[in-house]
Amino acid sequence: MIKRTLFFGNPAYLSTKNEQLVISFPEEEKEDKTEPIEDIGMLVLENPQITLTNGLITKLIQNKTAVVNCDKQHLPCSLLQPLVGHTEQTERFANQLNASLPLKKNLWQQTVSAKIANQANHLFRRGKNHKKLARWANEVRSGDNENHEAIAAAHYWQNLFEIEGFSRYRNGIPPNNLLNYGYAILRAVTARALISSGMLPGVGIFHHNKYNAFALADDIMEPYRIYVDDLVYEIVSTGEDIEELNTFLKSQLLQIPAMDVVIDDKMSPLMVAMSRTTNSLQECFAGMSRKILYPVYD
């Protein structure tokens, strides 16, 4: 079952009773609302005047709910995660930490190839120049020593949006603001799935910056970025004002965990597909498989 994403942009008091999330609005004359905790996959907290009880935090963590906090710029900046995400966590940590360099290079090759193939399919769907990307997706070698990922990314962003002055970087002009927010949500979904599969999100197969607590999440989310790009492209094509990341735009981007994707020839919500991807990854670390399951953008 797909889990729900709840967003709180106004002051609220969040507590729990009878396995329910109880939502109270102290500054408004509204009746309390309730939501089953077992149905919640992600909780996004934006307003600084939101209070959570310790009892609620405990139940959310036990439910493996991703609790995401936002900064002053309204962008997700932190993720609350459990100390124990899986019953076999210790063994799975060991498998991950002991993974050989050839295995990690092979996994990164699969990841980059899947990412570029999805980028090519997205450009094709939009009637853009995709042939180079389609070729490069099949030319990625172990460890991507020729850096096809960066070469493909440059071509992809040059051809996707027909917006004067646009280039993809964090502080660039819109729709970079939408992409930043969408990728932050995707990162939280990925980290949640990795923890639930009993792995350390900070130990990557390629990304390894010592200041990055979510290096593995940044690795595994790469082929999924296309679904954020697809949603942002649709928003831009409507002519909606995207200069400011308002509540309406955030509500659109918060649909990301529930987006339909094709994985292993089956349609699945993105959050569920991500769990399949992370489970396949831990099987690779355990020596049970050599292939990561990634979605195919169609």
For residue 162, give the nearest of 126, 134, 118 by alpha carbon: 126
Tokens 């593995």 belong to residue: 216
What residue numbers does the annotated binding site cover?
Answer: 149, 207, 222
Contact 108, 208 (CB under 8 A): no
Q: What is the 3-state secondary structure (H, E, C) of 168-186?
A: CCCCCCCCHHHHHHHHHHH
In a 3-state reduction of DSSP, which class is residue 139?
coil
- Residue 267: CB atoms within 10 A of its CB come to 11
For residue 47, give the nearest of 83, 88, 12 by alpha carbon: 12
Angle at 139 between CA 137 and CA 145, to 5 degrees: 105
What residue numbers does the annotated binding site for Mn(2+) cover?
Answer: 149, 207, 222
**Separation CA 291–CA 280 (nearest Å):** 7
Which amino acid, 184?
Answer: A
**Separation CA 236–CA 233 (nearest Å):** 5
Strand order in the sheet with 40-45: 4-8, 40-45, 66-70, 76-80
* Proportion of the chain in helix, strand, coil states, percent, rounded to 5: 45, 15, 40
Contact 2, 269 (CB under 8 A): yes
**Separation CA 189–CA 160 (nearest Å):** 25
